[in-house]
Amino acid sequence: MDNKDEKRRQLIHTMLAQPSGASAAGIAEHNLLPWRALALHLSPLIGDSGFGALYGRTARLLAGRYGWLTTSPSSTAPEGLFQTLEADFRQAEPALAAEANAALLLTLTGLLSELIGEALTTRLLDAAWAGGQIQKNAGEQK
C-alpha cells in the first residue's frame, strides 16, 4: 500500500469513528454521513448518474468479499443507493458492516483518484469531509 492510500485510509477511519453511546440506528446513519457528503460534492461535478456509476463499480468490485452487499443499477439516484446501503449495513454484523463501509469508501476514492488524479481527489475529500468535521456537526444536520 502506498502513502496516498494510507492517507485516504486514515481520513476514512476518522470519518467512520463511531460516536459513543450511539444506537444501532444512529450508527447506521453515521455510516452514511461520508457518503452523503461525497455525493453532495461530487454530484455537481459528475452528476447523480456519474456518482451512481462510480458507486456501482465500487460495489461490484467488493461484492465477492461481502456477499450481502447489494449491487444497485448505476442509474439509481444517490439517495436510493444510500437507502440500500443502510439496509445492507443493518443486516450485517456491525463489525463486518464497518469493515465493508471502510472498504467501499477506500475503493471509491481510489477509483476517483485514478480518474481525476490524487491531488484533486484529496481536495474534494477535504472539501466534502472538512477534515473530519462532519462528525462534529452531524447533530446539527437533523
Element (H, E) at 80: helix 78-91
Give me the residue label for grid cell 488524479: 117
Q: Which domain holds residue 106?
A: 32-141
Is residue 12 in a domain? no
- How far apart CA 4 and CA 1 sit, in angstroms, is 8
Is residue 103 in a domain? yes
> For residue 11, with 0-12 CB atoms within 10 Å meaning exposed, 13-18 middle and 19 or more buried, which class applies?
buried
- How far apart CA 141 and CA 119 sit, in angstroms, is 29
Is residue 20 in a domain? no
Q: What is the pTM of this model?
A: 0.84
Is residue 7 in a domain? no
Is residue 27 in a domain? no
Is residue 9 in a domain? no
Q: Which residues contact 97 (CB under 8 A, 6 or more apart)?
A: 31, 88, 89, 90
Torsion angle, CA of 29/74/55/141, rounded to 10 degrees? -30
Q: Give the pLDDT of residue 142.
A: 38
pLDDT, tens digit, 9 for 90 and up, residues 17-42: 876 666 666 777 788 999 999 999 99
Number of domains in the chain: 1
Is residue 51 in a domain? yes
- Which position has the higher pLDDT, 50 or 130? 50
